[in-house]
Amino acid sequence: MALPVRRGGACELPRHPPQRPWQAAPLRGRDDPQRPVRAAEQPPLRLDRPYRRRPRGDLRGGRPLLPHAPGLKERAVARGYFVGIDVGGTFTDATVYDVAARTCSAVKVPSNRAAPDQAVLAVIAKSAAPACGIRRVVHGTTVATNALLERRGARAALVATRGFRDVIELGRTTRLTPGSLYDPYFRRPPPVIRRRDRHEVAGRVEASGAVSEPLDEADLDALGRALAADGVEAVAVGFLNAYRNPAHERRAKEILSRHLGFVTVSTDVLNEVREYERFFVTALNAVLMPIMARYVGALTEAVAEGYPAASFYTVASHGGLLTTQAVTEAPVRTILSGPAAGLAATRRLAEALGIARIIACDMGGTSTDVALVADGALPLKRETVLDGNVIRLPQLDIHTVGAGGGSIASLDGGGDLVLGPESAGARPGPACYGHGGTRPTVTDANAVLGRLGAGQELGRSLSLDAEAARRVVAALAKAAGLPTEAMAEAILDLAVAKMAAAVHEISVARGYDPAECALLCYGGAGPLHACLVAEALGIPRVVAPPDPGTFSAFGALCSALTLDRALTILAPLGPEALARSAAFFASAAPAMREAFAEQGIDPDGFTLECQYDLRYEGQAHELTVPCTPDADAHALTAAFEAAFAREYGRLDRERGLVLVNVRAVGRVPVESPAWTAPLPGSGRPLGRRTVWAEGEARPCPVWQRDDLSPGEPVAGPAVIEEMSATTYVPPGWTARAGRIGELDIRRNPA
C-alpha cells in the first residue's frame, strides 16, 4: 500500500474499494476538506448478523489482523498521535497525545449505547489529529459487559465430560446475587447456555492426568455436524481434570473446528483447578466470541481504512492491552475493560507525584469505581461476581457503586430518598442536559446548588439548563416537604455516602487507613464530589489530574501489552512443588515471546511477573502473592504471611502452606504519554456566582483551570471549570495547581 502523502496541509489517504457498509468511504480527520462523511453518520457495525470466522492471522482479503507490526513501528516513530478512548455510559472520551510536542488534548462526544462503534469513530474524527498522523488507537469497551447483563450473547453450546454438563448451572449452590439471601421468591438468573445446548461425550481424565477412558471422537464429530446444522455459532469445551492433561480438549477443538467457526476450550481460557469456575468462564467466552469478533474486527477494519498508520488495541480486565486477535480468541477478558484503564493512569500519576498510597475514585454518568493503588502495585483479584455467577480470571480489584452523575433520585414507598441504580444515561440524560429528561439526578442537584453554572458548556457537547434542573428537583422536594436547595443537598449527601462506603470497603476493610492515602478524583463527575468524600473519610488530600473527565482515556495509553499463563500445582509448598513452578516459569517466558511475535508485536522490552496462589492447609481459598521465579519456600512464606496478616489480621503458623497455582504475566511496554509542566495562567478568576454550601448561599469565585498560576492558593468555596469536568472546592479546603498540571486540594489545618 502506498504511503499517504500530504497536500496542502491535509492528508490524502490511499483509496480502497468499499468492502463493508461502514467502509463506503475512508475516514478522515476533522480538518480534511476532502473528508466525505462524518464518523457519527456512518451506519453502526452489525453485531447480530451471521458471521464465519476467518483463518487465524487474517482479517480482510489476506491483510494481517493488525495493520502493522506495532512493536517495530512505534519504536521507530518520533512523531504522530496516540488516541486513547474510554466508552462510558454517558460520554465517550478521548485523549489525543502529540508525540513530538509531548502534549495531550481531550475530546468528548455523547455515547451511543445501541451502537458504541459510532461514538468511538466519532470521537476520533472530532480530534484535531490528521488521519495519517494517528499511530495508535486504544479503547476500553463495555460491549462484552452489556451483552452479558442484557442476555444478548450468541447462541452457544457446551460440550462436557459425561455426567458434568450441568456444572455451570449448579455453580457453588449459593446465592451470589446481591439482596437475594432472604428473598423467598428469588429465582436464579438463567444459565448462559441453555440445558438443551449442553452436551456430553465419553472420555475421562483422572485427577493425576492419566486417561482412564478414551475420547469418543466419532461421537464428537457427529455432534459438531449437528450443532452447526442447528444454528449454533460457538461451542465451549470443558472436560474434567483437563488442567492436568489437556490432550482431550485439544483433540476436541480440532474436531469441532471442522464444523464451527468459534471453538474455545477451558484450558486455553483458565488452566486451573475447580470445574465450575473453569467451565463457566469458558461458556462465557463462547457466548461472547461471535459478538466481540464482529465488533472489534469490524472496528479494527474501520480504523485501518481511515487511519492506515494506526495500530488498534483493546484494554483488558487486568489493565493490560490486547490485540484484535487476542480479543477475538478470549473476549471474556474484556468484561471489565471499561474501568481498568483509569488505574493504569492512577499508578502513573502516583509515581510522578511520589504518592505511596492513592485511592482512585472514578465517577462517571452511571456509576463510581473505586480502587486503591499501594506502593505502585495495581490491585488484583482472582474473581468477580456478575449477575450471580463467578468469573474467575485475572482482573483489577475495582469496587463499583451505583452513584453517578446521571443516577436518578426518587422517594420510595415509605417516603425515604433513594438514589440509583437507575441512571438517566446520555439520552435523555439529566434534565439540565436539555434532552427531555424529567427525573432529578445528581448532576441536576449540582446545578441547583450552583456548583454547575447556568449555560456552562459540558464537554463542548451541550449547554447546561439550570432552570430545567431546578424544576425536576423542586418537584421531588415538594413531594418530600423540603426546600429545593435542601433536597439538592440531600441528593448529594446520599451520593457521597454511597461513594464513601465504597472507599471504606477497599481501604479500611482491607487493612489500609484512608487518612494515610490521597484521593484521586476523575471522571466527569469525580472532582465535583471528591472533597466531600474525603471529608467523610478523614482523607486530608485530594488530587484532580489534568483533564480529569478523560483520565481513563489517558490511562488506555499507559498500559502495556499483556499475556498470562497459569499452571495448577496443588501440592504442599516444598522442593517438588517449587521445582515444578520453576520449570513452568522457565518455559513461560520464551512461549510468551513467541506468542507476542505471532500477533505482530516486537517482544523487545519483555518482562515477566511471577505470581503464586497460596493457602493454608484446609483452607478453601487462596491469596495471590508476587515473587521471583526462583523463590524458595522461606521467601514465599514471608510474602504469604504479610498478605494474610493484612487481609485477615492474624496468622496460622501451625498449618503448612499449599501451592495451588502459579501464574506468569508477560508484558511488552509501548510508548506512552507523560505530563509536562503547565504554562502559567492569568491568576484571575473568570467571575463569581452564588453557590449553596453548608446550608446557606455563599458568593464563590469561578475559575477557568487554565487561568490558575502554579502554587497560588485558591481557598474554598470555589469552582474550577474546564472542558472535561468541574472541580468543587468546599469551605475549609484549599486548592493549588501542581507541577504537572494537577490540582492539589488539601484540608485546612484545624
Classify 476 as helix, strand or coil: helix
69 contact partners, CB below 8 Å, separation of at least 6: 600, 601, 602
User: Which of 145, 89, 97, 425 is closest to 295 using CA atoms?
Assistant: 145
Amino acid at 746: R
Nearest 5°: phi and psi at 665?
A: -120, 110
User: Looking at per-residue confidence, does 336 or 121 come out higher?
Assistant: 121
**C-beta atoms surrounding 505 within 10 Å:** 14
Per-residue model confidence as pLDDT tens digits over 205-215 = 999 999 999 99
pLDDT over threshold 50, residue 119: yes
Residue 653 CA to residue 18 CA, distance in Å, equals 67
Instruction: Give percent of the chain with pLDDT exceeding 70.
Output: 89
- Cα dihedral across residues 375, 376, 381, 387: positive or negative: positive
Which of the pair, 88 or 125, is modelled with greater confidence? 125
**Beta strands per DSSP E along 239-339:** 262-265, 311-315, 321-322
Look at 78-92, 403-417, 634-648 and tell me which has the smallest mean pLDDT: 78-92
* CA–CA gap between residue 638 and residue 661 (Å, rounded): 17
Question: What CA–CA distance (Å, rounded) separates 118 from 128?
Answer: 18
Report pLDDT for 59. Answer: 32
Q: Which residues pair with 668 in a beta bridge?
A: 561
Kindly indicate the confidence band of residue 220, based on its pLDDT and cuts at 50, 70 and 90: very high
Q: Which of 423, 434, 369 is nearest to 396 (CA)?
A: 369
- Judged by DSSP in three states, 50 sits in coil
The three grid cell numbers given for residue 138, joined into one nine-digit string? 486504544
339 CB contacts (<8 Å, ≥6 apart)?
A: 140, 362, 369, 396, 398, 400, 552
Q: Which of 69-78, 224-233, 471-480, 714-723 has the lowest mean pLDDT?
A: 69-78
* pLDDT at 41 (0 to 100): 38
Q: Is the pLDDT of residue 77 over 60?
A: no
Give residue 586's pLDDT.
95
Q: What is the pLDDT of residue 557?
A: 92
- For residue 54, the 8-state DSSP code is P
- Name residue 315's beta-bridge partners: 321
| Cell numbers 499452571: residue | 567
Mean pLDDT for the chain? 85
What is the separation of C-alpha 326 from the centre of its chain, rounded to a whole number of angstroms?
16
Sign of torsion over alpha carbons 344, 345, 346, 352: positive
Per-residue pLDDT band for 66 (boundaries 50, 70, 90) equals very low
- 493: confidence class by pLDDT, cuts 50, 70, 90: very high
Helix (H) or strand (E) holding 534: helix 526-537
Q: What residues contact residue 251 under an 8 Å CB cut-off, 6+ apart?
A: 215, 217
69 or 521, which is more confident: 521
- Residue 470 contacts by C-beta under 8 Å, 6 or more apart in sequence? 447, 448, 484
pLDDT at 3 (0 to 100): 32
Q: Dihedral through CA 160, CA 163, CA 167, CA 172, nearest 10?
A: -150
What pLDDT score was predicted for residue 78?
A: 54
- Average pLDDT on 284-288 reads 96
Q: Scanning the structure block, which residue is given the C-alpha cell 499517504?
A: 4
Residue 571 main-chain phi, psi, to 5 deg: -150, 155
CB 149 within 8 A of CB 137: no
Q: 61 — alpha (psi -120 to 50), left (phi > 0) or beta? A: left
From the list 428, 426, 437, 436, the residue with the least C-alpha distance to 112 is 426
Q: Of 102-116, 287-301, 427-441, 589-603, which range is least confident?
A: 102-116
Residue 731 is predicted with a pLDDT of 95
Q: Residue 17: pLDDT above 60? A: no
- Measured CA to CA, the distance from residue 526 to residue 365 in angstroms comes to 10
Is residue 142 within 8 A of residue 277, CB to CB? The reply is no
Which DSSP string corresponds to 708-739?
A: PPBT--EESSEEEE-SS-EEEE-TTEEEEE-T
**Mean predicted confidence (pLDDT) in 234-251:** 96
Longest dimension (CA), the chain: 81
Confidence of residue 461 (pLDDT cuts 50, 70, 90): low
Going through 122-256 in order, the beta strands assigned E by DSSP cover 134-140, 156-161, 198-201, 204-205, 211-213, 234-238
Length of the chain: 750
State residue 21's pLDDT score.
29
Q: Quick one: pLDDT at residue 50?
A: 39
Query: Whole-angstrom Cα distance, residue 664 to residue 606?
Result: 12
pLDDT value of position 598: 87
**Whole-number pLDDT of residue 155:** 95
Which residues lie across from 746 on neighbouring strands?
541, 734
CB of 387 within 8 A of CB of 567? no
Where is mean pLDDT largest: 162-176, 224-238, 340-354, 361-375?
224-238
Query: Do residues 540 and 516 touch, judged by C-beta distance below 8 A?
Result: no
pLDDT band at 459 (very low <50, low <70, confident <90, very high): low
Contacts of 733 (CB under 8 A, 6+ apart): 531, 542, 715, 716, 745, 746, 747, 748
DSSP state at residue 405: T
Q: What is the pLDDT at residue 162?
A: 95
Under 8 Å CB-to-CB from 89, ≥6 apart: which residues? Answer: 111, 113, 142, 364, 365, 366, 367, 404, 406, 423, 425, 426
Answer whether residue 386 shows pLDDT above 50: yes
What pLDDT is attached to residue 420?
A: 82
The DSSP-derived string for 123-160 is HHHHSSS-GGGEEEEEEE--HHHHHHHTT-PPPEEEEE
Between helix 247-256 and helix 217-229 the angle, nearest 10°, is: 40
- Name residues whose C-beta falls within 8 Å of residue 165's C-beta, 6 or more positions apart in sequence: 158, 195, 198, 199, 200
Question: Which residue would you say has higher pLDDT here, 452 or 54?
Answer: 452
Q: How far apart are the first and last CA of the chain?
A: 67
Amino acid 577: pLDDT = 95
Over residues 143-162, the mean pLDDT reads: 88
- Measured distance CA(118)–CA(127) in Å, rounded: 14
Q: How far apart are CA 91 and CA 233, in angstroms?
A: 32
Give, for 688, the enclosing helix (H) or strand (E).
strand 687-693
Residue 706 zone, left/alpha/beta (φ > 0; ψ -120 to 50; rest): alpha
pLDDT tens string 558-577 = 888 899 999 999 999 999 99
Q: Which residue has the higher pLDDT, 689 or 366?
A: 689
Whether 423 shows a pLDDT value over 50: the answer reads yes
Q: What is the pLDDT of residue 187?
A: 84
Helix (H, G, I), strand (E, B) or coil at 553: helix
pLDDT at 440: 95
What is the DSSP secondary-structure string of 376-403?
TBPPEEEEEEETTEEEEEEEE--EEES-
Which residues in 492-580 belong to E strands, given as ranges?
Answer: 518-522, 541-544, 561-572
Which pLDDT band, with edges at 50, 70 and 90, does 97 fall under? very high
> In terms of pLDDT, which residue wins out, 677 or 228?
228
Instruction: Give residue 130's Cα distance to chain centre.
Output: 28
**Predicted local confidence at residue 681, as pLDDT:** 85
With cut-offs at 50, 70 and 90, classify the pLDDT of residue 40: very low
Which domains does the chain carry?
Answer: 13-147+293-334 (no CATH), 152-287 (3.40.50), 561-668 (3.30.1490), 687-747 (no CATH)
Confidence of residue 62 (pLDDT cuts 50, 70, 90): very low
